[in-house]
Amino acid sequence: MTAFRLIEIKEDIRADNSRLAAAIREQLRGKKIMLINLMSSPGSGKTSLIMRTLEGLKGSINLGVIEADIDSAVDAEKIAAVGAPVVQLRTGGFCHLDAAMVNRGLDALPETGLDLIIIENIGNLVCPAEFDTGAHKNAMILSVPEGDDKPLKYPLMFTVCDLLLVNKIDYLSLGDFDMNSLRERVLNLNPRMTIFEISCKTGAGLEAWINWLKKEIAAFRKGR
């Protein structure tokens, strides 16, 4: 019987990714630029939230954006139209971003003048949760039309995130979404999760999100 060598590709890839992600975090910390990885299902409102965030932070926080799509530049065009620095990553089939992809996006953004960079990850509640992008904070959006059972179906996503934004609360009266059940399910998985209820359409709850960002960035600059 011929001997052979077994190579665990997935574990090697994750180890390499983790090392690069740690280096990205350290490099950005040295520049006092905070990096947030924003994840969600398709159509939950990631781009709408970023547009609202640009508006809310205008004049106080300089924000750059890394957009990711399998095969599109639509969202980057929207961000660029309002004058914000943005880079589009086209993954060509990959359903997530990893640290190497993010690193390429960072290289294409301005080196100075930014306080915050938001990654708009691929719309997917599975693969993006498995890869460290080098972000200092992970945030996710769950929209009301998706239902309150998503923590039961995609527990890893809710476990790795620091912040949950429940978007499209203007739809609450149109269905059977149970906010109390959602909160209970989320906090059972991740007791440290911060949860905001928002509507990018009406603007409800967005002030709390903007204030959270300002507070986190201030603490980040002080090395906390």
The tens digit of pLDDT for each residue in 179-196 reads: 999 999 999 999 999 999
How far is 55 from 141, CA to CA, in rounded Å? Answer: 19
In this prediction, residues 23-47 reach a mean pLDDT of: 97
User: In degrees, to the nearest 5, what angle opens at C-alpha 37 toward C-alphas 123 and 25?
Assistant: 145
Indicate whether 10 belongs to any domain. no
The parent domain of residue 149 ranges over 16-218
Quickly count: other Cβ atoms within 10 Å of residue 208's Cβ. Answer: 14
Position 11 scores a pLDDT of: 59
**56: CATH:** 3.40.50.300
pTM across the whole model: 0.92
Question: pLDDT (tens digit, 9 = 90+) per residue, 128-171?
Answer: 999 999 999 999 999 999 999 999 999 999 999 999 999 999 99
Question: What does the block give as tokens for 188?
Answer: 């059972």
Separation between Cα atoms, residue 169 and residue 166, nearest integer Å: 7
Whether 66 is in a domain gets the answer: yes
| pLDDT score recorded for residue 75 | 87
Q: Is residue 178 part of a domain?
A: yes
- The pLDDT assigned to 1 comes to 56
Instruction: Establish if 21 belongs to a structural domain.
Output: yes
> What is the reported pLDDT for 13?
65
* pLDDT above 60 (res 6): no
**pLDDT tens for residues 57-108?**
999 999 999 999 877 778 899 999 999 999 999 877 778 899 999 999 999 9
Q: Is residue 73 part of a domain?
A: yes
> Looking at the 3D structure of the chain, how many domains does it have?
1
- Rounded alpha-carbon distances, angstroms, from residue 87 to 12, 176, 181, 186: 28, 38, 38, 32
What is the arithmetic mean of pLDDT over 194-223?
Answer: 97
In a domain, 185, yes or no: yes
Q: Residue 176 falls within a domain, yes or no?
A: yes
Cα 176 from Cα 12, distance rounded (Å): 44
User: Does residue 143 fall inside a structural domain?
Assistant: yes
